[in-house]
Structure 1
Amino acid sequence: GAYSGFLFDSGIVAGPDGAVLTTEPDWASYIDMVPLTGSAAVSAPQEELTQVNFQLDWSPNTNHTGIFVADEMGWYAEEGIELEILPYSGGNGDQLVTEGVADFAVSFHNSVALSAPSGVPLKIVAAVVQKTVEAIGVTANRDDIQSPKDLDGMLYAGFGGPFEVPVMKAVIQADGGAGEFDSVVLDTWAYEAVYNGDADFVIPFLTWEGIEAELHDQPMKYFAFSDYGMPEQYTVVLVAGDTW
């Protein structure tokens, strides 16, 4: 059977085959026969995890559910990844990836499309939301706004993206309006401005701000881009740089 040690008695040394040895054995030749248990055991080295920085595009919300669930369940670690989720702080995720601050980021299909002609080294690696879920949002009590054409001359609360004003202008014109309105960049305060009546309309993501408005008992009405000639597209995507 397996040999687990050596017997010492009155200076006589017994070898693993039971023979009496008159000279002390070569311990190195037997050491690999001794099972290591308890404190003597040597733990197998753990696989070193690869650090990956992941940039959010907004405060944590339903569009990020899969990211946080996978992290909580340990699925990234199973694939050798130690994920560091970077909170949104007003920065542009695409830019943070190209600068090497983040390895991956939550972004938007149209944002990446606008970056491509300038040679920005970005690529879409996954489509989180695979259809258009953007819309023009106004509070439900605005009886003076029945369709996009009624937004002419009003104030848009925006986020500074280069595609926002042109897209809404096209939607308003498709409804028969002139597409002329004022805009102000409020970023994370944009929705509150509309809820409070300080601005007239905003672009929500129905998969999050639409849900959030319901949770806060804030009645809203929406004019979907796709109802006014805008083609369907991936909305929320994950981007990476050329190194991945």
Structure 2
Amino acid sequence: MKRTATALLLSTALLFAATGCGGDDSSDAGSDGGNKSVTLTLNWVPYGEHAPFYYGLKKGYYAAEGIDLKIQPGNGSGNTIKQVAQKQTEFGWADSPALLKSVASGMPVRSLGSYLEKGPASVEFFADKNIKTPADLKGKTVGGTPGDALYATFPAWLEKNGLKQSDVKVVNVDAAGKIAALAEGKVDAIMGFFHDQAPTIENKTGKKVEVLLFADYGMNLLGTGLVANTETLEKDPELARKFVRATQKSWTEAAKDAPGAVSAMSELAENEPPAEVLTKQLALALPLIGTDAAPGVNTDAQWSETVDLMARYAELKNPGAPTAYWDASYATQG
């Protein structure tokens, strides 16, 4: 199990932020004197998608905005959002479908932008299964976790691609056990986030993994993004603006320097994946950002599609407009 970073690790991270020892952008790093301590809780234990945050920490982008950033691991998007709602963490990094469900349940939270505009939801399998299209899933067993958005929308995704629900046998598997179920041959495929899991599975098994993305076959759900408490946004909107500004810069610059982002995460994160796995995960995550806008800048149409899919297939009650879940005013083109 991953653990929260130690005090020594955090001291090292802040030293980098204050002195600019991390690289060429040292001029961007501000003094940590008087900076505000801010915690970001991830959606899961550290993996490649999170490298831009560590890159921004090392380069001093957060310090330049007056923020002393602490990054801590999470235990699922739902739990991260709950921590934001209960003010146990200033900001969260969580999956957008989970954010929609949380808002619908009454939690005082909003998205400040989804950074993975092309959702990573997928069906993953070993290459030797010879699955090339959704039609090839007929007669196969697929592991999924009840309660998550992938599981909820999977039947509709099958139907959208010409299959009946009865054509595929769905096996209920705990989230922590899906990779083992696939590796041990208990299922032919699993539902999951390919950019995280596929490199991990390949590293563990030595076998090539292939995927079918929901988004490539007619169903895109926005992926992970920043989450804040509505009271924080009301009382200290400037903090949110600064945090989003530093995060946008971190993601923009990390996309230009993936090796540097991997190096920063390897140095500052605790119990992160091996560097080769981390590198593959980040390489798969970056194209999901999209190219039409700055990271975290979304459109009403993108959010409307996700809201509609969740309302139709994942029991999102009284869905309302995208603005019920997402505040577009914080993530700007810069």
Give the TM-score of the pair, scaled to structure 2: 0.52
1:156-171 counterparts in 2 under 5 A?
156-171=142-157
Task: Say whether residues 1:221 and 2:207 are aligned partners.
Answer: no
**Higher RCO (CA 8 Å, separation ≥ 6 residues):** 2
Cα distance in 2 between the residues matched to 1:195 and 1:46: 46
Q: Which of the pair is proportionally richer in strand?
A: 1
Kept in 2, the 8 Å contact 1:129–1:234? The answer is yes
Aligned position for 2:117: 130
Aligned position for 2:161: 175
Aligned position for 2:286: none
**CA-to-aligned-CA distance 1:197-227 (integer Å, 9 cap, x gap):** 1233222323332343455533122122123
Q: Superposition RMSD on alpha carbons, in Å?
A: 2.6
SS at structure 2 position matched to 1:207: helix
Aligned position for 1:70: 56
Aligned position for 1:7: none
1:1-244 counterparts in 2 under 5 A?
47-89=33-75, 92-143=79-130, 145=131, 147-149=133-135, 151=137, 155-180=141-166, 181-216=169-204, 217-230=206-219, 232-242=220-230, 243-244=232-233
Aligned position for 1:11: none
Kept in 2, the 8 Å contact 1:59–1:87? The answer is yes
Kept in 2, the 8 Å contact 1:149–1:178? The answer is no
Cα distance in 2 between the residues matched to 1:102 and 1:190: 29
SS at structure 2 position matched to 1:188: helix
The amino acid of 1:195's aligned partner reads: A
Kept in 2, the 8 Å contact 1:109–1:236? The answer is yes
Kept in 1, the 8 Å contact 2:144–2:170? The answer is no
SS at structure 2 position matched to 1:47: coil
1:69 CA drift (Å): 0.9
Kept in 1, the 8 Å contact 2:146–2:152? The answer is no
Kept in 1, the 8 Å contact 2:38–2:68? The answer is yes
Cα distance in 1 between the residues matched to 2:117 and 2:137: 28
Kept in 2, the 8 Å contact 1:98–1:120? The answer is yes
Give % identity: 25
**CA-to-aligned-CA distance 1:85-115 (integer Å, 9 cap, x gap):** 2223457211111122222111112222233
SS at structure 1 position matched to 2:190: coil
Q: Which of the pair is proportionally richer in helix?
A: 2
**CA-to-aligned-CA distance 1:132-177 (integer Å, 9 cap, x gap):** 232111122224x554355466544334434222311112222322
Cα distance in 2 between the residues matched to 1:205 and 1:100: 28
Aligned position for 1:35: none
Shift in CA distance, 46/235, structure 1 to aligned 2, threshold 3 Å = closer
Kept in 2, the 8 Å contact 1:151–1:172? The answer is no
